[in-house]
């Protein structure tokens, strides 16, 4: 809903960066909304991780049609190529939308049915933060996110494909990046489709028009889909209560792990460690925990002076088999840090990544407490100084604790008032038993 409202409100520019966009029901809803925005002259940049683009978008005619639109440019982060196999493990895990110079949405949700919409009951719960900039482009965190986007867009590992820009000077987010994308397009004009994305020349020619006309069926389908969306969500083009439906923040700061496709300095974890130095109460929510020595040291340090709570999906409920089985292998080490661990038995898996520090600071975004997020992938987190937001998230975490089993280092276990026991079937027990052995030498890659 909020993504559709943001896209519907866009007048100048849209940036959508996502780890996992699929051409399923919710993903196609986004494609339809973006297609309509492009038709009305909004400049659109899509940045997509290369593995998931290859897996889920390579054969999508709807996605190819959008990429062929005027004003749409697609960047693929670290695409899957024979020459790039040695960098295959470095992924872009960011998830955000920037609209004009007014607002952005950033968090942990991917762009598919598992996270968006109501098309399936097989979902993951997650958290995004909508930031409405009352200064119209002067807000610090908005400028930081735009600068971050310019940096990652210009990385050598990002291939720019598709689209034809009418006037690059109209692109408010990154004029420099627009120039680079033109160079990238001119270098690949000999191919109509690259990695499933059409290349369209910068000038309107008969050949270009022919390429656009071949997607006429998709354009009609996307237009009909968008018309249905407007009937279902009646305010996606005229929603105006942005300021009324948000809460004030004293300060918002963007933290990132770097943009290159290579080993990362653990900047996000270091920031959390620094912020927790003077905290008395720290709550970490993460889908799963996969730590190395430095990460265990960080948890030990926090727990030495603060009450540290870690809320993660119970093995019986988690949707990530790697995280579940590593927890079974490493549970004692996690408990030995001094943290109180809550094994959450929610109705559906919880994909939220958040850190709460006392009653003011909330850190929310895409960072999982695992080695992949810490050392391999791009990650974004917002550090938000707002008592009201902190209170809202604390309330949610309190509900999750009631649905959890508390596990302490001394072996004591306490079930919350709403905890419901679930037993793994024998097939999953067998699968996890085998996986626990397989993953031991591969933990740093999970």
Give the mean pLDDT of 429-436: 92
Give the mean pLDDT of 196-203: 52
- Residues 268-286 as b or e (16 or more Cβ within 10 Å = b): bbebbbebbeebeebbbbb
pLDDT for the residue 405? 97
CA distances from 443 to 323, 369, 431, 440 (A): 9, 13, 17, 6
pLDDT for the residue 252? 97
- Residues 415-424 as b or e (16 or more Cβ within 10 Å = b): ebeebeeeee
Helix segments in 276-386, DSSP class H: 293-305, 321-335, 371-375
Given a contact cutoff of 8 angstroms between Cβ atoms, the answer to whether 198 and 64 are in contact is yes
Instruction: Give 399's contacts (C-beta < 8 A, 6+ positions apart).
Output: 418
- Residue 210 pLDDT > 80: no
pLDDT in tens, 316-325: 998 899 999 9
Instruction: Give 56's contacts (C-beta < 8 A, 6+ positions apart).
Output: 20, 21, 22, 23, 27, 112
pLDDT in tens, 361-384: 999 999 999 999 999 999 999 999
Give the mean pLDDT of 207-220: 79
Q: Which domains are delineated in the chain?
A: 2-232 (3.30.870.10), 251-445 (3.30.870.10)
Q: If pLDDT is split at 50, 70 and 90, which confidence band does 198 have? A: low
Among residues 122, 139, 117, the alpha carbon closest in space to that of 130 is found at 139
Mean pLDDT, the chain, integer? 88
Among residues 10, 6, 25, the alpha carbon closest in space to that of 116 is found at 25
pLDDT for the residue 97? 98
d(CA 210, CA 159) in angstroms, rounded, equals: 24
pLDDT in tens, 155-190: 999 999 765 443 433 333 333 333 333 333 333 333
pLDDT for the residue 347? 94
Q: If pLDDT is split at 50, 70 and 90, which confidence band does 211 have? A: low
d(CA 260, CA 108) in angstroms, rounded, equals: 20
d(CA 51, CA 196) in angstroms, rounded, equals: 12
Quickly list DSSP for 388-420: HHHHHHHHHHHHHHHTEEEE-TTS-EEE-TT--
**Which pair of structure tokens corresponds to residue 229?**
């969306």
Among residues 384, 134, 144, the alpha carbon closest in space to that of 242 is found at 134
Residue 77, H or E segment:
strand 72-77
**Which pair of structure tokens corresponds to residue 350?**
């919880």
Dihedral sign for Cα atoms in the order 44, 47, 50, 51: negative
Share of the chain above pLDDT 90, in %: 74
Three-state secondary-structure class, residue 375: helix
- Residue 108 pLDDT > 70: yes
d(CA 157, CA 159) in angstroms, rounded, equals: 6
Give the mean pLDDT of 12-22: 96
- Residue 257 pLDDT > 50: yes
* pTM score of the predicted model: 0.88
Which of the 8 DSSP states describes residue 69? S
pLDDT for the residue 208? 60
pLDDT for the residue 136? 74
Q: If pLDDT is split at 50, 70 and 90, which confidence band does 197 have? A: low
pLDDT for the residue 204? 52
pLDDT for the residue 183? 37
């Amino acid at each position: 809903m909020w993504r559709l409202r943001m896209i519907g409100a866009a007048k100048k520019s849209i940036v959508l960066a996502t780890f996992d966009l699929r051409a399923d029901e919710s993903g196609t809803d986004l494609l339809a909304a973006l297609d309509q925005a492009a038709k009305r002259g909004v400049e659109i940049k899509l940045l997509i991780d290369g593995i998931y683009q290859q897996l889920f978008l390579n054969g999508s005619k709807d996605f190819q049609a959008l990429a062929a639109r005027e004003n749409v440019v697609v960047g693929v982060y670290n695409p899957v190529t024979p020459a790039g196999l040695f960098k295959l493990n470095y992924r872009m895990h960011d998830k955000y939308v920037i609209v004009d110079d007014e607002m952005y949405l950033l968090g942990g949700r991917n762009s598919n049915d598992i996270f968006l919409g109501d098309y399936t009951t097989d979902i993951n719960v997650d958290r995004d933060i909508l930031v409405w900039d009352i200064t119209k482009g002067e807000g610090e965190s908005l400028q930081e996110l735009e600068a971050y986007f310019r940096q990652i867009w210009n990385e050598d590992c990002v291939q720019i494909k598709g689209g034809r820009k009418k006037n690059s000077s109209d692109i408010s987010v990154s004029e420099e990046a627009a120039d680079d994308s033109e160079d990238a397009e001119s270098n690949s004009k000999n191919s109509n489709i690259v990695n499933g994305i059409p290349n369209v020349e910068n000038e309107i020619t008969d050949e270009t028009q022919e390429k656009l006309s071949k997607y006429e069926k998709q354009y009609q389908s996307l237009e009909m889909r968008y018309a249905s969306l407007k009937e279902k969500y009646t305010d996606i083009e005229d929603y105006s209560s942005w300021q009324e439906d948000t809460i004030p923040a004293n300060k918002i700061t963007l933290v990132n792990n770097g943009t290159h496709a290579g080993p990362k300095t653990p900047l996000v974890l270091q920031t959390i460690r620094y912020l927790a130095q003077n905290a008395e109460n720290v709550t970490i929510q993460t889908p799963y925990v996969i730590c190395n020595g430095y990460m265990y040291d960080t948890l030990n340090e926090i727990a030495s002076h603060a009450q540290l709570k870690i809320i993660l999906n119970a093995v019986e409920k988690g949707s990530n088999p790697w995280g579940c089985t590593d927890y079974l292998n490493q549970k004692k080490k996690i408990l030995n840090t001094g943290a109180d661990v809550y094994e959450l038995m929610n109705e559906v898996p919880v994909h939220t990544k958040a850190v709460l520090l006392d009653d003011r600071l909330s850190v929310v975004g895409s960072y999982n407490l695992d080695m992949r997020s810490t050392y391999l992938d791009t990650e974004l987190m917002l550090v938000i100084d707002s008592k009201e937001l902190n209170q809202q998230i604390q309330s949610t975490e309190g509900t999750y604790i009631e649905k959890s089993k508390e596990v302490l280092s001394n072996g004591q276990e306490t079930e919350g008032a709403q905890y419901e026991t679930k037993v793994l079937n024998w097939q999953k027990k067998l699968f996890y038993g085998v996986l626990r052995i397989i993953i031991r030498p591969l933990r740093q890659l999970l």
